[in-house]
Amino acid sequence: MGAFPRFFHTRSKQMYRLHCFCQSGNSYKVALALRCLGQPWTAVFVDFMNGVTKAKEWRGEFNEMGEVPILEDGTLRLTQSGMILTYLAQKHKQFGGRDDGEQREILRWLLFDNHKFSSYFVSYRFMKSFGLTAPDPAVMAWLKGRIDQAFSVVDRHLQSHRFVLGEDPTIADFSMCGYLFFPEEESGLQIEQRFPNVRKWLERIRAMPGWSDPYEILPGQRLAPRW
């Protein structure tokens, strides 16, 4: 595990602890939010790729769902990236929407992201790059069709929006971009070439203070795609 920047120094007295690993786009969503909020945090490496989250002891101590990210804020422990992002936005009063209508719109896109936009892409990428057996071509074709549908929806939306809600970024952007800054070879789907408005949106996120590549800020060893 190489050196990587773990936190920003601010006036905050409390340092967040983020349980994570470098292949996890859901962990990256939270890490990116913390960096853009200018909040100090430290990484706790979770050896997901070697099955640590499957252990009964780990689930009993950390998360019964067997997943990361896990965010510790003092004695408070939070799981599920969408909920963590909502918590951070509410606590720090940034990126969470200016009124009830925007907050509902953020929730709408968070649900779309978790159900479709990231969901199908995550499965495709994992099976291609990290699965223990070669992926079934029929399953991959089905997933790619779902990915194309979901990304086409977002590409059309971003034709008239700088960010998901409009002119300013929110946690909806952090959630939806979470898996799209990993190397293209891990999915092989050429997302930025095929969806030009998604590409421009990602360029705007890259320009935000605090943005960094997931493999530069999350712990663990980068792995070459298996298939």
Domain ranges of the chain: 16-95+212-217, 100-206
φ, ψ of residue 70 to 5 degrees: the values are -125, 130
In this predicted structure, the answer to whether residue 7 has a pLDDT above a threshold of 70 is: no
Q: Quote the CA–CA distance of 55 and 58 in Å, as a whole number.
A: 5
Residue range 58-70: mean pLDDT, rounded = 97
Q: Of all residues in the chain, what percent carry a pLDDT higher than 70?
A: 94
Bridge partner residues of 17 (DSSP): 42, 72
Is 70 exceeded by the pLDDT of residue 165?
Answer: yes
Cis (ω within 30 of 0) for the bond into 135? no
CA 89-151-204 angle, to 5 degrees, is 50
- Model pTM? 0.92
**Architecture, CATH, for domain 100-206:** Up-down Bundle (1.20)
Banded model confidence at residue 14, pLDDT cuts 50, 70, 90: confident
Q: 33-52 pLDDT, tens per residue?
A: 999 999 999 999 999 999 99
Identical fold between 16-95+212-217 and 100-206: no
Alpha carbons 103 and 170: distance in angstroms, whole number: 10
Average pLDDT over residues 130-138: 96
Q: CATH number of the domain at 16-95+212-217, please?
A: 3.40.30.10
Q: Are 17 and 71 in contact (CB under 8 A)?
A: yes
Distant-in-sequence, close-in-space partners of 122: CB < 8 Å, separation ≥ 6: 25, 179
Q: Look at residue 13 in the predicted model and tell me its pLDDT.
A: 54
CA–CA distance from 172 to each of 104, 154, 183 (Å)? 11, 12, 22
**pLDDT tens for residues 102-116?**
999 999 999 999 999
